[in-house]
Structure 1
Amino acid sequence: MIGEEIEVLYEIDSTNEFLKRNYKSFHDGAIVVAIKQTAGKGRMGRSWYSPEGGLWYSVLFKPKIHINLHVYTKIFSIAIVEVLRKLKIKAYIKWPNDIYYNGKKLCGILSEAVSVNDRVVAIIVGIGLNVNNDIPEELKNVAVSIKDILRKKVKITYLLDSINKHAWNILVNYRNETENITKLWKKYLVPREGDVLKVKVDDEIVEGKVLKISDDILYVDVGGKVIGVQSIHQLVE
C-alpha cells in the first residue's frame, strides 16, 4: 500500500534525494512529504520551484519483481490527471511525463532508480504539484496552480491521499499488463500519434507528423525522414 508510512519534513533539498540517501530506513510504499524544497528536481537535472503551498513528495518502492521505471511514471501521471478531472480540471499529460492545463505546467514527475551491484533495490517517484502556492510573475506564462484554476484553495491532504490511492489501484490492477497502462497513458497524452507538430532540430524549426510514441522518444516524420525527439524542450507550442 502507498502511504501507510509517511514522513513529513518542513524543509529539505529534495524529497527524491532524501529517499535516495535513506531508502534503507523506509518500507515499500513509504512517502516523504516536504512543506518546501530548496533544491527541487525536474527531468534532465532541471530545477523545480517548490515553495510552501504546493504538494512536494516522493514515493518509495522496493520491487520484488522488475518493472520498468517508465511504468511507475505513467501510473502516477494517469492517477494525477484522473484525480484532477474529478475536480473539473481538464489536465493532460504533455509527453513524456508533465501534467499541463491549458498550455501551462501544473505538475512534474521524476522517477529514479537506486541500484546496488547492477540490481535495482529501490524506485523513487517524485511528484511536484502546484496546489495553493503562488506562481512567480516570471513563470506565470508557463506555469499554473490549482488555486489559480479553481479560484480557491484545495486541501493538500485530500490530493495526496486521492492520488496515492488511485496510483495504488492502477499498480495492483495492471502490474502484469503494462501495455494497458501505456494505453491509458496515451489516452491523456499530448501530442498523440498522427498529430502534426513543430519541433526544433539543430536550431531549425520544422513541421512533422508523429508516427509513434515510445516512453522516451517521439518518432516524427519530417518530409519523409523519421527523426527521434527525445526532449519536451524540442517541441514548439
Structure 2
Amino acid sequence: MKFIGSAAKTVFYLKKIQGQYPSWRLQYKIKCKSTEIELTNLIRNSQIKRNQPVAIIAREQLSGFGQNSKTWVSPEGGIWLSAAYPIFSKEFISQIFNLSIGIKICEMLRQENINVSLKWPNDIFFGSKKLIGFLPRVITRGKEIIYVRIGLGMNILNYTPSEGISLSKVLQTKNINQHYWTAKVLKALHDSIECNNKKEYVIKSANKFLTKSFLPNGYCPHTWKIKDIDSNGNLRIQNETQLKVIGRF
C-alpha cells in the first residue's frame, strides 16, 4: 500500500524503529468525532486480514471516550488513535492483554529516560499525572479471538486537564516529532501482542512498573493499600484484616 502525507511520515519512522514491522494499514483524520467510531465503520466495510493491523489516527477528536465511557479530552497536539490487530487464535491470553500493552509502553518510554509507571489497569502516569490512557478490547468468534482493539490517547503538545501532563512538559521542550512518537506507540502495540504468550514475564514486569499510589475508586487510602497484581492480572489490595481481589471487568 502506498502511503502519503502523515501516514507516510509515521511509516518512515516505524521502519527505522522496527525494521521488519507488520504491514500496518494507517488512516489519518484531520478531525473526527471519535477514532473508535471511525475504526468500527472501517471494520464493518473492510474485513480484518491476517498480518495487517489497522489504525485510525486523528489530529483532533471531538467526542472521544475512555474507561467507563468517561470523556476523553483530545485536542490538537496529542496522539489519538484506535487500532485493530488480527489474532486468529484460541491461545491468546485476554486476561493479561491490558498489562502487556502497559508494560511495553512503559518500557518504550523508559528507554527514552522518561520514568513512567503503570496505574492499573490501563493508564500510564508520570509522577502523579496521566500521560497516556488506553482501552483494550478482545473480539471473539466462538472460542477463537479474531482480533483485539486498542483505543489510545497520548498527551504530546496538547493542553491537558489538571490531572494530566503532556510529553512536552515532561521533556521541557516543544521540539517533539509526533510522527516519531506515533511510530513508537504502534511498535509498542505490536510488541504487546508478541509477548502475550509470556505470562510470567508480563505479570512480573507489570508489578515492576505498578504505581501503588492510586487505589481504585471507592477505596479509602487511609484504610486500603495496593499489594500487587496477581497471576491472573487482577489487582490485589489489602487492609489490616482483608485481602481483596479486583478484576478489570
* TM-score computed with the length of structure 2 as normaliser: 0.76
Taking a change above 3 Å as real, the CA distance of residues 178 and 218 of structure 1, as seen in their structure-2 partners, is closer
Q: What's the secondary structure of 2:80's corresponding residue?
A: strand
Contact 1:108 1:128 in 2 (8 A): yes
2:205 aligned to which of 167, 184, 187: 184
Aligned counterparts of 2:154 and 2:215: Cα–Cα separation in 1: 27
Instruction: Tell me the alpha carbon deviations over residues 52-78 of structure 1, each in whole angstroms, 9 at most, x when there is no partner.
Output: 100011221121113233433223222
> Residue 226 of structure 1 corresponds to which residue in structure 2?
243
Letter of the structure 1 residue corresponding to residue 55 of structure 2: I
Q: Of the two structures, which has the highest relative contact order with CA contacts closer than 8 Å and spacing of 6 or more?
A: 2
**Alignment match, 2:43:** 23
Q: Offset of 1:44 from its aligned partner?
A: 1.3
What does residue 158 of structure 1 align with?
A: 180
What displacement does 1:86 show?
A: 2.9
- Tell me by how many angstroms 1:220 deviates: 2.1
Residues 94/157 of structure 1: CA separation in 2 closer, same or farther (3 Å cut): same
Residue 115 of structure 2 aligns to a residue whose secondary structure is coil
Letter in 1 for 2:62: T
Q: What is the RMSD of the two structures over their aligned residues, measured on CA atoms?
A: 2.7
Supply the distance in 2 between the matched residues of 1:71 and 1:87 (Cα, whole angstroms). 25
TM-score normalised over the length of structure 1: 0.80
**Contact preservation (8 Å) 1:108, 1:129:** yes
Which stretches in structure 2 are left out of the alignment for 5+ residues? 1-20
Q: What percent identity do the matched residue pairs reach?
A: 23
Does the CA contact (< 8 Å) of 2:77 and 2:157 recur in 1?
yes
Are the structure 2 counterparts of residues 20 and 82 from structure 1 closer, same or farther at C-alpha, using a change threshold of 3 Å? Answer: same
CA contact (8 A) 2:93 2:197 kept: no
Tell me if the contact between 1:73 and 1:111 (Cα under 8 Å) persists in the aligned partners. Answer: yes
